Chain A
Amino acid sequence: MRIRQGTFSWLPDLTDDEIKAQIQYALDQDWAISVEFTDDPHPRNIYWEMWGLPMFDLDDASACFEEVKKCREAYPNHYIKVQCYNARYTKQTLGLSFIVNRPKVEPGFTLERAEQNDRHIAYTMRSYAAQDAHGTRYQGNGEGPEPD
């Protein structure tokens, strides 16, 4: 399965040039850029690991993209996203957030249903990958069966 998170998750993966173009758009808005990575893609996982501090006051996308490349080299089989933060009064939130790296295999999630009274079901969504310990997830190379 393909995890649909971030602004462009239904489009094909962005090329490096396309990523730089999006970063440049964000810099042109005076937004700060940061790179984050994780091996726990649950949609309620808000706090991915930070690849360094957010980059403020830059105007050239290439410098930001270098950080994307370094993060990819260090974590080739993790999810990596570019966060573009708008600090303007009444916003103070992300203006753009998009995935720039995915594990080769994305096993996705399972939905657990705990049946209760009166036809009420308590749902819990778990990521298959998160059943393994940190550091041992997403070791697959794309061979073998994929759940979806």
Chain B
Amino acid sequence: MAENGQKTEEASQRTEQDASMESKMARTNKPKAPPDKDKDDERWGAGVIPYAKMGYWEPDYVPKDTDILSAHRITPQKGVDPKEAGAAVAGESSTATWTVVWTDRLTAYETYQAKCYKVDPVPNIEGQYIAYIAHDMDLFEEGSIANLTSSIIGNVFGFKALKALRLEDMRIPAHYLKTFQGPAHGIVMEREWLNKYGRPLLGATVKPKLGLSPRNYGRVVYEALKGGLDFTKDDENINSQPFGRWRDRYLHCIEAVKRAEERTGEIKGHYMNVTAATMEEMYERAQFAKEIGSIIIMIDLTIGYTAIQSMAKWARANGMILHLHRAGHGTYTRQKNHGVSFRVIAKWMRMAGVDHIHAGTVVGKLEGDPNMIAGYYDTLKDDFVPKNAQNGIYFDQWWSSMPGVMPVASGGIHAGQMHQLLHYLGEDVVLQFGGGSIGHPMGIEAGAECNRVAVEAMIKARNEGRDYMKEGEEILKKAAKSYPSLQAALDTWGEISFDYESTDTPDSTPTPTSA
């Protein structure tokens, strides 16, 4: 709340530029207000007062360039003023507790208090608001996703005054961003190490994901890589089970990878999942993967933010591409009113330092609105991502030359969708055709081949200036004339689509789920 009328007027007269200049010159938020006895009593008297009155609601606050900004979708309980709810989120995610504490006065509390500076009603959804909150950079430890998230999605998510709360987006200032390593290698370095340019990379997850002996598992890897895929992949839940221990699996997979390289003359990789119960075991597995000559390892999101950052540092130090499978994210990213948007997870994972992350397919079997997925892909890859309501992006985000993360599209996609995949997901992506390769009626090698032929044919047509989205089926049919494997794929899966309504859609426009 503004401390007096005059000040509010002054603040509104300031241009943002002035404020920004000012913020560069001083770390304090605003000029110290003159003493006001009544106001001090109201703020500092013992007992419980609204968060808004404690300084967590400041509608005239102009965020500093160095502030970490967050946008939260809030659903206040009946009778709770949305501004108070926004202030409560700011309070609980920074310095506040439920009652007034005099020890606040031993601190520069005006700096440390997060400030809710705007609350907008969500169009067309009654009872939901977007609360914008500015956090001073000093609230967070440098280079620690765990610390950042303990504040931003900590206690506050269980807060009773809110029915539901969702972290929609964050603006990470360059000052804080630069305290993170970022991707161990990034898209450019990965492509140069693989020596592969100008087209999506192709992969497949070995299926069945559980139960194959290491020897049989390696057979799938060999056939798929020889057939034309760039990568094969362990699934998220294959670690080291009784039917196949990790060391045996790695040894068979590297034999398959090297043999496929010899047969094709191109670089191949198998994402060796090093996910384990302890860091010590993960390091042991990663070290072994490196020693036998793997170029890539993988981890699951379930290992936690700190373990991910540790593995990212290890991956950079040891020249290993780091793939992240987002196992578990659907428990908190999918519902629109509560949890954390995947665009925030994508942002944190780019900072944490992975090289690959699964980010949706649009057309496959898993949740994904096309506009939202475009927002995730931009967040992972671009150096500047502008505010864009349609894609669910709430803030301009500069990445300050932090390398891009290669998005991975996996789950229910097949060669017959190649034009749609290229249209929605672009060129810098790993397209993973697990069932679409291994389930091919002519065998795994043929399954892999049809995907490679389809992607190359589509890129070639696009570069020739064809309207590939419109002529996609025709382009594939023509390529299939020289490749029976592609014709068989079109015959088997051509009509398969997963056309369900998305749960997580932008507020601004209704969108279809697939082409």
Contact = CB atoms under 8 A, between A and B. Distances in A.
Contacts of B254: 121, 123
B459 A109 contact: no
A90 B267 contact: no
Interface in B157-195: 188, 191-192, 195
Contacts of A108: 262-263, 265
Given A10-B452, A21-B464, A4 B197 contact: no
B261 A43 contact: yes
Given A25-B464, A90-B401, A120-B292, A8 B456 contact: yes
A1 B460 contact: no
A110 to B, nearest CB: 7
B207 interface: no
**Could you say which interface size class chain B belongs to?**
35 or more
A45 to B, nearest CB: 9
Interface string B250-264: 010011001101111
* Secondary structure type dominating chain B contacts: helix
Interface string B457-501: 101100111000000000000010010000000000000000000
B262 A94 contact: no
Interface residues of A, number: 42
Interface in B425-453: 449, 452-453
A44 to B, nearest CB: 8
Interface string A39-63: 0011110100000000000000000
Contacts of A119: 251
A14 to B, nearest CB: 8
Contact of B198 (A11, A42, A97): A97
Contacts, number: 109
A111 B464 contact: no
B460 A11 contact: yes
Nearest to B259: A111
B251 A11 contact: no
Closest 3 CB pairs of A and B: A96-B198, A3-B265, A25-B463
Interface of A: 1, 3-5, 7-12, 14, 18, 21-22, 25, 41-44, 46, 84, 89-98, 108-111, 119-123, 125, 148
26 contacts: A1-B263, A3-B266, A5-B195, A7-B456, A8-B456, A8-B459, A11-B457, A11-B479, A12-B482, A18-B460, A21-B464, A90-B188, A92-B188, A93-B191, A94-B192, A94-B198, A95-B198, A96-B197, A108-B265, A109-B262, A111-B262, A120-B292, A121-B254, A121-B255, A123-B258, A125-B261
